[in-house]
Amino acid sequence: NAGVTQTPKFRILKIGQSMTLQCAQDMNHNYMYWYRQDPGMGLKLIYYSVGAGITDKGEVPNGYNVSRSTTEDFPLRLELAAPSQTSVYFCASIRGPSADTQYFGPGTRLTVL
């Protein structure tokens, strides 16, 4: 299994541009998550999904959108990028609430100038 994969690894955007961060998992996990991590800080939940077609807002959803058309993929869309969205973005998946491990992708480092 490849686990959780994220693309791209690095990206520089100009203010006002848009982009999609890709996330895929091959473990047939129903639960998927997007987090952002600012320097020296913890993880803030952006959006999450408990299954295909089901998404919900996390703690910091403003400026982002998600979709979950398949179990495997959970892309995160940034519209009108702002400097405040400069961060490292992690995608994660887990089998369910009683699962013993949440699997994380390697992260995408995004800079908005």
Applying CB under 8 A, which residues contact other proteins?
31, 33, 35, 40-45, 48-50, 56, 58-59, 90, 92, 94, 97-102, 104-107
Q: From the CB of 9, what's the least distance to other proteins, in Å? A: 11
Is-contact 68 15, C-beta < 8 A? no
Tokens linked to 23: 């996330």
Q: Which is nearer to other proteins, 31 or 64 (CB)?
A: 31
- CB-count exposure of residue 92 (10 Å: 0-12, 13-18, 19+): buried
Q: From the CB of 77, what's the least distance to other proteins, in Å? A: 20
Q: Which is nearer to other proteins, 81 or 105 (CB)?
A: 105
Q: From the CB of 4, what's the least distance to other proteins, in Å? A: 10
Spatial distance between the Cα atoms of 82 and 111, rounded to a whole number of angstroms: 9
Q: From the CB of 80, what's the least distance to other proteins, in Å? A: 26
Q: Which is nearer to other proteins, 1 or 40 (CB)?
A: 40
* Cα-based distances in Å from 69 to 8, 37, 50, 52: 20, 26, 12, 5
